[in-house]
Amino acid sequence: MTRLLCLFLLAAAMPATAAELTVSAASSLTESFRDIAAAYERAHPGTKVDLNFAASGVLLQQVTRGAPVDVLATADTATLDQAARSGLLEAGSRRTFATNALVVIVPPGRNNAPKTLAALAGKGVQRVAIGNPDSVPVGRYARTALQDAGLWDALAARTITTQNVRQSLDYVARGEVDAGFVYASDYQAMPGRVVRAFDVPLNTPITYPVAVIKSSARAAEGRRFVAFVMSPEGQAILRGHGFGAP
């Protein structure tokens, strides 16, 4: 009896393990999803949100290879479409939760900053940071815009390919390139360290979708997180970080 009582008291004294939810999100969502995760944890005590940030294509590869991900949020519809075709998403869980804009940024204090896509092909621009179009949505958006303007071939030799949009942002902030393609929300993440040169016209809007992964062991929790992202509180956090309404 004494032994059983000791075991009961020991178990009662041990801290409860928080339920963990793994959310993989595009690099451009870093600050906003950190704030959303913190707000979600406050709203649902006992739940911990583990965040994993990378380029959308890299995140999809991780899920495809069996990474224990519960929720996936990407910076484009094409990546999540691919996940759906591969049978990786829980039916009915997909939502579009934000929009964004493509911009060109330059280092502070730069004279004669480019104001158009055509200006990027001028003599004053030697290096332009662009996300890898094969895995980074911002790179695909930028490539499409340049192709539509007939400038992709002219700029190909000047592009510095990056692993994600935040690497492009860092390159510009450190003055390692003359210009870079990022999202409007990324520009807002580094006030004073980069200058927004101009907005890039696109024929296809930039939309951010999110969905629960079909193999998730915490699908119900995942759906609750997605609902929170779509809630007025979640949407207000996204607006505060420069994202547009879905």
Return the CATH fold of 102-199: D-Maltodextrin-Binding Protein; domain 2 (3.40.190)
pTM (two decimals): 0.86
Predicted pLDDT of residue 2: 42
Distance CA 80, CA 78 (A): 6
Strands (E), 61-205: 71-73, 95-100, 102-106, 128-131, 159-162, 179-183, 195-199
Alpha-carbon distance of 246 to 238, in angstroms, equals 10
Q: How far is CA 195 from the centre of its chain?
A: 21
Q: What percent of the chain has pLDDT over 70?
A: 93
DSSP, collapsed to helix, strand or coil, labels residue 87 as: coil
pLDDT given at position 17:
44
Instruction: List pLDDT tens digits, range 201-213.
Output: 999 899 999 999 9
The DSSP 8-state label assigned to residue 191 in this structure reads B
pLDDT of residue 123: 86
Give the span between the Cα atoms of 210 and 230, in whole angstroms: 10
- Tens-place pLDDT, residues 7-61: 233 333 333 345 799 999 999 999 999 999 999 999 999 999 999 999 999 999 9
Share of the chain above pLDDT 90, in %: 86
Summarize pLDDT for 156-183 with one digit per residue, the tens.
899 999 999 999 999 999 999 999 999 9
Where b means 16+ CB within 10 Å and e means fewer, 115-140 reads: eebebbbeeebeebbbbbbebbbbbb
CATH number of 14-99+207-240: 3.40.190.10
Which residue ranges does the chain devote to CATH 3.40.190.10? 14-99+207-240, 102-199
